[in-house]
Amino acid sequence: MDLVEQIVANLAVEPGQAEKGIGAILMAMRMTVDKPTFEKVRAAVPNLESYMGRALMSGARTGEMIGVAGPAALMAGLSAAGFPKEDVPRLGRIVLEHIRPTVGNEAIEKFLAGAPALKG
C-alpha cells in the first residue's frame, strides 16, 4: 500500500486531498532539514514534486499561489487541503512513519520539534 492509499484508508479522504496533505508536510519538512536529508525524502516519496505542487495550489485563490513556508505555516496548508485539526496528528504520523526508515529518527524528531501540530 503506497502512502496516498494509507492516508485514504486511515482518514477516509479522497486521494487528491491525501496528496495535498502529504505535500504540505513535505514542504514544511524541506524548510527544516538539510538538503542531503531532503534528497532522502525525495527517494522515499517518488511523487514528491507533484504532492508539493498540489499543496501549493490548494491554497490558491483566483490564480494566486500561497506557499507553505515551513512548519510555522503547516496548519494553514493542511487546513487549505481540507484536513480538520483533529486529523492532523494521524496524517503526520502516517507520512513521517513512511519516511522515517529512509531519513532516520534524528531528522524526524528535528522536524517534529518545529511542527508540534503533528504530534497531537
pLDDT, residue 70, reads: 60
Q: In 1-120, where does DSSP find H-type helix?
A: 3-11, 15-30, 35-44, 48-58, 74-80, 88-103, 105-114
| pLDDT tens readout for residues 78-100 | 988 899 999 999 999 999 999 99
Backbone conformation region of residue 12, classed left if phi is above 0, alpha if psi is from -120 to 50, else beta:
left
Domain ranges of the chain: 3-118
pLDDT for 72 equals 61
**pTM for the full predicted model:** 0.88
pLDDT of res. 59:
57
